[in-house]
A and B are shown apart, each in its own frame.
Chain A
C-alpha cells in the first residue's frame, strides 16, 4: 500500500491534510492510536495482566488513572494493550481480506466460465449471511484465537472486495492499452502486475480503510461475547463485558472502552474519507463525516 504514496509528492499530502480540520483529525487520531499500540509496553503504567484481587474495582487514583477492573488489573494499561489488539485485528483483517479478494477476484475475471461462476457463488453465499452470524459460526468451528479471528473476518469481508476487483478487472482487461501490451507479447502475469493492479486497487484502498473501523467493532463484539481473543490478551470488547457484568458496582468501567472504540472507528472513518477526497479531486466538499463509519454499523447487530 505504500507504492501508492511513492509517486505522490509529500508536499502535496501535507498541504492537503492540513487544509481541513476534519481530515487532519482522522490522520492524527490514527497516528496516535498506532503510537499507543506500538509503544504500549513502554507507556503503560502497569502490567495489564497483573491480577491483584486486593485492589479490585478501585476508584480513579494517581497510581491507577482509570481505576482497576474486577481482577484488580489496571484499566489504563489494559486500554493501551487493547489498542494493540484492535489495531492488529482491524488492519490485518482488512489486509488479508483485501488480498484474498484481490486474488479470487482476478482469477474469476481472468478464467471465466465455471471457475468464475463458482467463485461468484462463493461470494454470494458469503454475502447472504448477516456478518456477525457468519463470524460466529466460523469462530465456533475453528476456535477463538487472534489468528483465527483475523482469518474469519477476512473471509467474511472478502466477497465485497472480490466482486469489486472482478468487476474492475473485467473492464480494465478490455482496455486498449492492455490489448496493446498483449499484442507486443508481454506475459499475462506481467501485465497484471504493472497495469491492472494499479487501476483496480485504488478505490479498494478506500473501502478497506473504512472497513478497518468496522472490523475493530466486530472484534470488540466477539470479545464481548467471550468468543474473541483468548485471555489474558486485553481487548476493549472484553473490558466492555466486565463493565457490563459489574455495571451496578462500577459504572465507569464501561465508559473508557466505549470512548476508545468510538475514537478508533471515527478516526479510521475520517482517514478513509480523507483518502478518498485526496484521490478524487472532484470530491472536495467539506462533508462532515463519511460513508465510512457507517459500514462499521452494518450488522454488528
Chain B
C-alpha cells in the first residue's frame, strides 16, 4: 500500500474564528491506483491534498491523524527530511492555474533543470552543496526534458525550452507543469484541479497526455476535482467529500451505478448528461456550510431529503457497506 491516511483533521485559525476544513479523513491509495477526490468548492479537498505534503497556509494546522507513505510517517517527519525525500521526489503536485504556476523570470529550462538536478543528486545520495544548484544545466538532462516536452505535445521543444513562461499559452504551461511533475518519477501525483479553467478542447488533450504519463511512469494519483465527468474518465476509485468529511468511497463503477450517500446521489443527478427529458437541470437546495459555523450531527442533513432525527444528533462515520471496497458515512443506509 502506497499511501495510508488515518483520521486526518486540519484546522484553520482566522480572525473570524476556528474551523475544521478537514475532519477525520481516512483512506488508502495503492501503488499505481488513480483515486478521484470529488467535492464542491470549500469542501476541503484541496486542503486535504496539500496536507499530504504539509504545504498548508500559515494559518492552518494539522490537528490530528496519521499520514503514512510507504510506511513512513509524514506528519512526524522533520521538515528537512520531508523536503529532501518526499517533495519533488516521492510526491509531485500539479495545480489548477497554470498562468501563475511557473516562475516568470526564469526559462522553462532552468526551472525543469533545477528540479531534475535536485532529484538526481538526492537519489544518488551525494552530499549536496547549495552552489551546485545554481550552476547551469547539463546537456543530458536537457535532452531528457526536451523529449518529455515533445511527448506531451509541445512542438519544437528544443527551441522552446529556452523561452520564458509568458511565451506559452495556458494549455502549454499546463503541459510544462506535467513534465516538471513527472520528470522526477514520483510514486504519487497530487493533481489539484488541473483542468479546471482550461478550454474544453484543451482539457481533453491535457487529460489524454496526463493519462499517457501516468501509464508510462506507473504513478499513483490523487485527482482532486469538482467535475464528476472528469473523474469518470480518469479514476479507478472515487472519494466524495462534503464540508470537510469524506462521505463515500467506492470503485468508480460502483459509485456511478449504485451511489449510497444522499449527497453523492444528488451530485450524480446534477450531471447534465443525466438530465431527463425535462429541460430543467437538477440542483441541490441550500449551500455548503461555512466551516466556522457547521451544523450539528451530519453536516449534510439540512439539505438532505431523507434527513431524520438521528442525523441531527451525531456525526456519521465512514463504515463499510456490502462490499469491502464501498464505504459510506450515513445513518440511513
Chains A and B directly touch (beta carbon < 8 Å):
no
